[in-house]
Amino acid sequence: MRLGALPDPSLDELLARTSRSFYLSLAVLPADLRPALAGAYLVARAADTIADTRAVSPDRRLDLLSAVHAALASPADARFREALSGHALLVSAAERALLSRLDDCLAALARLDPADAALTRTVLDALLTGMERDLRRFPAEDSGRLGALDTLADLDEYCWYAAGCVGDYWTRLTAAHVPALRPLLAPGMIERGVRLGKALQFVNVLRDAADDLRAGRCYLPREVLARCGLAPEDLRDATTRVRARPALEELRRLALAHIDAAWPYVLAIPWTEPRLRLAAVWPLWIALATLARLRDAPAPLDPARRVKIPRAELYLILGESSALVAASALLSRAHDRRRRAADAVDVALPSY
């Protein structure tokens, strides 16, 4: 199946090889949204591949990302081609193919409608900036050292660069192409779209905390851990990380607050646009299910016991939301039920 998400058939095939799930998800979206979303995804995925590879040092990865960043601002800048040509990165065959076609992906952005191209470059600029900041902030994965965010403000900023900016982009792009979504451009509603993105990244931080700690990264802020009498280094020790439950619950409640702020955004998407409404409902309901399981997990920071949503539960989410998407009252009732199921537990948090 070829969606024609990108004018170049070979790039369309590259997208399908790089992420089959994302490629198929484009099928439920309006056709005129696909080129910008597909182009943004390919460039972001290429940058993320560079940021995550352990084949070269963080400093070298930063140089490579900076070269891509420069090409994003000025497509004629060819430094990234020279930089990438000298490195055999330890990535999958599909990712190697993606990196080899990065210049074509950037050229595809230049062929977008000018307004779409400007929005897409803005979100990619934010995403790459976030990746660069992480490479500067954290030590090499094999160094044995641990870096950490200091404050909740740092975590909020990280979530903006990783996902909040995508909520802003999605809102502006869809509203530009779907007249019924123009009300989402109200300033308060754009912020709710941003908080939807931040909610999803908060959940990622909590779900992936154990793996991040092994890689030398602690996104749980020092100020939150300090309220439990802990330092980031304590989370690597099974005998002390059990005391982190109040810190995890504090962050879990912040994720729930973001979800609460995002729900009116979902309802503002008209029922006459069911596919776009579902595109917002699905990640939020999956986030709620994940937060419920994180609350109940006996050892959420144990890397051997990663929290996952069973496939059967995912099917229930997809089925129920699809059945109710056009009935706002029933959809809200189902959301409220799922929100209560993920509600906070009675864990005493330090006062501050």
Asked whether residue 53 falls in the same domain as residue 82, the answer is yes
Q: According to the model, what pLDDT value does residue 352 have?
A: 39
pLDDT in tens, 86-101: 555 656 677 778 888 8
The pair of three-digit structure tokens given for residue 227, joined into one six-digit string = 């309220």
**Inter-helix orientation angle 114-137/58-73, to 10°:** 160
What total number of domains does the chain contain? 2
DSSP string, 314-342: HHHHHHHHHHHTT-HHHHHHHHHHHHHHT
Per-chain mean pLDDT for the chain: 90
The pair of three-digit structure tokens given for residue 192, joined into one six-digit string = 């709710």
pLDDT at 145 over 50: yes
- Per DSSP, the three-state class of 77 is coil
- Per DSSP, the three-state class of 87 is coil
pLDDT at 76 over 70: no
Asked whether residue 109 falls in the same domain as residue 182, the answer is no
Asked whether residue 261 falls in the same domain as residue 295, the answer is yes
- Per DSSP, the three-state class of 50 is helix
pTM (predicted TM-score):
0.92
Q: Any idea what the CATH number is for the domain that residue 34 is in?
A: 1.10.600.10
Alpha carbon 284 to its chain centroid, in Å, reads 12
Asked whether residue 40 falls in the same domain as residue 85, the answer is yes
pLDDT at 347 over 60: no
Specify the amino acid at residue 281.
V
pLDDT at 254 over 60: yes
Instruction: Give the domain-ending residue among 101, 121, 137.
Output: 137
In 3D space, the residue among 195, 331, 194 whose CA is nearest the CA of residue 257 turns out to be: 195
Q: According to the model, what pLDDT value does residue 133 have?
A: 97
Instruction: Give the domain-ending residue among 137, 171, 193.
Output: 137
